[in-house]
Structure 1
């Protein structure tokens, strides 16, 4: 009888962990049920309810295991004194505070999830903590776009804190320290540690469970619902240390094998690669001969996906773009490389391939001596400039641009009397008026390179009154914002065509990505489809029907502008008259790498996944649906795709995506 009493008293020391485990599992399961009810059709189409909740419980046990293991490990050095009442009292107080704090974290993360899901179609991930560096933009978006969720989250969290605190105080009041046998504590503690470790591993296999273990459907959003939001954010933080090698997980090719595969691509096969430390640098001869190279202006349109372009199968809210496409090179099958603005920036101005890591705009090793059009053209005698309507520090743009070739940066503080200022800066009209003003001041003997980045088409979709006939009600919707952005673009081009600089300037109008990239496939191809248009100077009307990528735009623009140079880009110069189009595009969607290619039998999508087999699909551009292809993927083709997927990590690790000074001197 005495032994049972001692055992019971010893177990009482760990009651807060027991309460925490039960409360946490119930909290996370209820949250998962609520979230699943918001997306019930997608969940039902992807997975059985029993599998969904059982896997979810398993993921929650992993998370709870981490939070229980830490205090147990901290306790181990003091195990020999825990049988004493004074030590028990301090232990229970610390344990209660620990439980309260981490229960609050779980609550906060789950309450934050619905708004994040609505915006990004996934549970909180790396973006959740990255954007904390930009409170003005984030809170403006939340207040205007998700005010209901924000208010509910704040109120419920405050209520939760009060209730939890009172419960903990009551538990502490009832706890009476009593002397117990040392051996009982020393017996129970190791058992709890081992139980927590087994819960964290969740498997007896060689490798512990990770997010890929729970990726049981082709719908990435449903896979994220199976997990919990604290776990997804923690895993994103953990993965930061692996960013340099983020894409090497897709295969076991050596760096030399990767480079050799890339060099065998048809449009690169005849090139020479003379620089050992810069394995993709080659000389690109321009297809247009000019006495003076053209100005190059890139207008990067925020979130302007094919969804909003009628002739690309979207909505009729871009009449000016539809009109302008008759005057230049119109890309009918152009695809973004990713789903964030910085991914679009690195693809368009650097021609850099996408990866699972953060964009190179943010990574530390690419802040200097990383290839951009600005860096190349500055060495060619161009003036280089970035024009933005918001704060240029956002997403680390200013630091990246200044370190990689941009002479000057214009942002929100440089507009003395803007027409309109919203949460994300001045309006597109203000931005494009500034662009017109700067181009009008261009020196006749010094060409200009300008990147202008719009922002009106961004949540919460604010724009000036009385500029457009609204496409719908209420006013602040994405369709109205897109229509306004298109109006501002048309207004600018009309003025530019009447200006002195038009005949000497090459314009690229292209989206960074679509407004919301989501879907129930491994890679939602249709949401990567974007418009692209090259016009100005002597550019003749032409339709580019080949499947193309944002990485093809930089080499094409250089060639059309009459700039011959060494470049590290692996995209295709689509102006080359004798070269067949590559007819491929690459897309990074979370951990999945998609390769879309047009073949004789139609368009096919190959998807590389982390710790899972390669999958292949037929893609229908008209229905936007994927149909699985059952036969085994061709090994030669998979090697090529894997090489493209692995290359960005290799080039970043080796700091090899740059044109060395020796190349410039040899031209």
Structure 2
């Protein structure tokens, strides 16, 4: 049968397909064995997982085979085996097999970090080759791995030649008519996948790991490349826009706020706090956004690891938010939530989208109060579009400065972290101690100029490859995330210690919060406990240290701070004052690329693309989600928040206004 479908001229194509299908099966089998405890291992589910995977593997190799199919069809018999023919076929086959080997290696490293097949994150990382390649080089023995890949490639080429596959391909009399059957078959498979099969069609299981295993990494990569943004109105449940804004305004309304344009589809409002009993305060604000710090790593939030003694100590001296959740799973999503105080919208973060400058951010609130606004990043802020976003929204940039800053029309000053200010650096940037030393220098300058400052610091040390300066903590550099967290904690302690010696310390409030958790992977599309992060406000003299257990969101932290400082301001923020939240106001927004969730009172409503809706009760003891009949009221509330957030972005409703 094989010989009838694949004549001798197609012998190498047959081997090419078999190699890919075999490698894909081996990878899927290894990932299944690796995560056997997390997947659904019932026999029927496993069989279905591998069958769906086989189909997607077949679709993937059909696309890769198309160029060779076209070549085989158009080349006449008289050119079979010529130097031209041999060069084309040897080169194409070698490059094709090398791509497969390299992609499977890359999938293993990507899975280790994200516990997913390739997705839009992998697409984004292609843009930032310097940081990503350097990170991989620092995290893995690249020479050894490349050597292994080269060795496997050589072995495959040797076996292919030894089996006379090349000779059969070059020495035959296969006519054009014989070539039509395999060509049309592969073209048909590729056409079906191109027109009718979506990557999401692999997701046939309740268990997220089974869904990921059923996919093919290369296919997932190109699917993500095509759909890096999702239209909310096209793919998600909607209601009337006017109704959505009415619902959201009811949730945002407060006795101390008034909407500027109550009949328009916007949320601009005046918020007042100042009174004679609580005077307005204008301390310096230093915000530390900690890379990938899950709540589960802090002893003060239930851990037993004892790797965050500084943060645990600070939690007892601060307003400590013990039930607060990140909106997403990436740094840029955390930045979006913190600065725009907005629920996540589907697809990529607003930080990385077009039309993301001259927005109403928390920076504008600080600007109206007379603050200097600075964004500190230990790497090159070109990465993930951070400099364009922060610079385009009025922040001065202090970074490592290898890339460039796009002209956003906003006056922006850029300061470089010089080589003589660096004691340690890895792929993602300088170590946390170095960035804090730079913050100290810039704070000293601002203090001398008698200018209040808001410093937004993005740390990098708690990121793979988890390397940091030697002899700082008792965990060797580069050995584990726990070591990186312990160093991150140590660096914060050293920073606070230095700051206490400065004349500006007494009048400086420190806000510390993670951008997202270390991992969001689990059985569910949204694993609630994988979004819980630490957040605290330290050195605010007018309020006693206390633990705040109210369910809240990353978007609420700065609106809460503005209230504590007793500021009157114009707001375009979705966040609420956590301190004044009533029980019915408590909620958290959590999401990822495709799923948007609203958590209230241990109930989770999830909106997914293809207009899918799921409703769960959250069993906190085992982080399990129990499916429940849809709650119509909570569904409408969830849709309202996400729909208005998307509407405001797409209709310039997040832009700065004159009133």
Tell me which interval the TM-score lies in, with the shorter structure as reference length: 0.7 to 0.9
Instruction: Kindly state the Cα deviation for residue 110 of structure 1 after the two structures are TM-superposed.
Output: 1.1
Q: Does the 8 Å contact 1:329/1:539 carry over to 2?
A: no
Instruction: Kindly state the Cα deviation for residue 171 of structure 1 after the two structures are TM-superposed.
Output: 3.8
Distance in 2 between the 1:64 and 1:256 partners? 48
CA distance 1:264–1:386, change in 2 (3 Å): same
Report matched runs for 1:209-288 at 5 Å: 209-240=197-228, 243=229, 245=231, 249-265=235-251, 267=253, 271-274=258-261, 279-286=266-273
Runs of 4 or more above 6 Å deviation: 7-10, 87-93, 275-278
Report matched runs for 1:226-625 at 5 Å: 226-240=214-228, 243=229, 245=231, 249-265=235-251, 267=253, 271-274=258-261, 279-286=266-273, 290-291=279-280, 293-314=282-303, 315-366=305-356, 368-411=357-400, 413-415=416-418, 416-443=420-447, 446-468=451-473, 470=474, 476-497=479-500, 499-540=502-543, 541-575=545-579, 577=580, 582-598=585-601, 603-611=602-610, 613-621=612-620, 623-625=621-623
Distance in 2 between the 1:342 and 1:212 partners? 24
Instruction: Kindly state the Cα deviation for residue 449 of structure 1 after the two structures are TM-superposed.
Output: 1.3
* SS of corresponding position for 1:265: helix
CA distance 1:19–1:423, change in 2 (3 Å): closer
* SS of corresponding position for 2:171: coil
Over residues 104-132 of structure 1, what are the superposed CA-to-partner deviations in whole Å (9 max), with x where a residue is unaligned? 32322112122211111112222224224
Over residues 122-164 of structure 1, what are the superposed CA-to-partner deviations in whole Å (9 max), with x where a residue is unaligned? 12222224224434433443233332xx455412331344345
Instruction: Kindly state the Cα deviation for residue 454 of structure 1 after the two structures are TM-superposed.
Output: 1.8
Instruction: Kindly state the Cα deviation for residue 26 of structure 1 after the two structures are TM-superposed.
Output: 1.9
Which residue of the partner structure matches residue 204 of structure 1?
Answer: none
Q: Does the 8 Å contact 1:420/1:463 carry over to 2?
A: yes
Distance in 2 between the 1:354 and 1:639 partners? 17
Instruction: Kindly state the Cα deviation for residue 233 of structure 1 after the two structures are TM-superposed.
Output: 0.8
Instruction: Kindly state the Cα deviation for residue 585 of structure 1 after the two structures are TM-superposed.
Output: 0.9
Aligned-residue CA RMSD (Å): 3.4
Structure 2 unaligned residues grouped into runs of 5+: 402-415
Choose the corresponding residue for 2:640, options 640, 643, 648: 643
CA distance 1:525–1:244, change in 2 (3 Å): closer
CA distance 1:61–1:646, change in 2 (3 Å): farther
Distance in 1 between the 2:113 and 2:535 partners? 24
Which residue of the partner structure matches residue 55 of structure 2?
Answer: 58
State the TM-score, normalized to the length of structure 1. Answer: 0.85
Moved more, 348-357 or 135-144: 135-144
Distance in 2 between the 1:333 and 1:505 partners? 25
* SS of corresponding position for 1:452: strand
Q: Does the 8 Å contact 1:328/1:539 carry over to 2?
A: no
| 2:22 paired with 1:19 | no
* SS of corresponding position for 2:210: helix
Structure 1 unaligned residues grouped into runs of 5+: 202-206
Q: Does the 8 Å contact 1:124/1:232 carry over to 2?
A: yes
Q: Does the 8 Å contact 2:337/2:555 carry over to 1?
A: yes
CA distance 1:272–1:608, change in 2 (3 Å): same
Over residues 214-234 of structure 1, what are the superposed CA-to-partner deviations in whole Å (9 max), with x where a residue is unaligned? 223344333212212101111
* SS of corresponding position for 2:446: coil
Distance in 2 between the 1:405 and 1:211 partners? 39
Distance in 2 between the 1:254 and 1:354 partners? 20
Distance in 2 between the 1:95 and 1:247 partners? 47
Q: Does the 8 Å contact 1:250/1:645 carry over to 2?
A: no
| 2:633 paired with 1:629 | no
| 2:31 paired with 1:35 | yes
Report matched runs for 1:97-108 at 5 Å: 98=92, 100-108=94-102
| 2:124 paired with 1:130 | yes
* SS of corresponding position for 1:456: coil
Instruction: Kindly state the Cα deviation for residue 29 of structure 1 after the two structures are TM-superposed.
Output: 1.0
Over residues 80-118 of structure 1, what are the superposed CA-to-partner deviations in whole Å (9 max), with x where a residue is unaligned? x76664499778975775555444323221121222111
Report matched runs for 1:38-49 at 5 Å: 38-45=34-41, 48-49=45-46
Report matched runs for 1:66-215 at 5 Å: 66-69=63-66, 72=69, 74=70, 85-86=78-79, 98=92, 100-147=94-141, 150-151=142-143, 153-165=145-157, 171-174=165-168, 175-176=170-171, 178=173, 180=175, 189-190=183-184, 192-198=186-192, 200=193, 208-215=196-203
Distance in 2 between the 1:538 and 1:103 partners? 64
Which residue of the partner structure matches residue 408 of structure 2?
Answer: none
CA distance 1:244–1:42, change in 2 (3 Å): closer
CA distance 1:277–1:236, change in 2 (3 Å): farther
* SS of corresponding position for 1:42: coil
Instruction: Kindly state the Cα deviation for residue 399 of structure 1 after the two structures are TM-superposed.
Output: 1.8
Instruction: Kindly state the Cα deviation for residue 633 of structure 1 after the two structures are TM-superposed.
Output: 1.0
Distance in 2 between the 1:384 and 1:517 partners? 31
Distance in 1 between the 2:642 and 2:610 partners? 15
Over residues 355-397 of structure 1, what are the superposed CA-to-partner deviations in whole Å (9 max), with x where a residue is unaligned? 332222221221x222322234224422111122232222221
CA distance 1:435–1:189, change in 2 (3 Å): closer
Q: Does the 8 Å contact 1:65/1:197 carry over to 2?
A: no
Instruction: Kindly state the Cα deviation for residue 190 of structure 1 after the two structures are TM-superposed.
Output: 4.3
CA distance 1:277–1:142, change in 2 (3 Å): farther
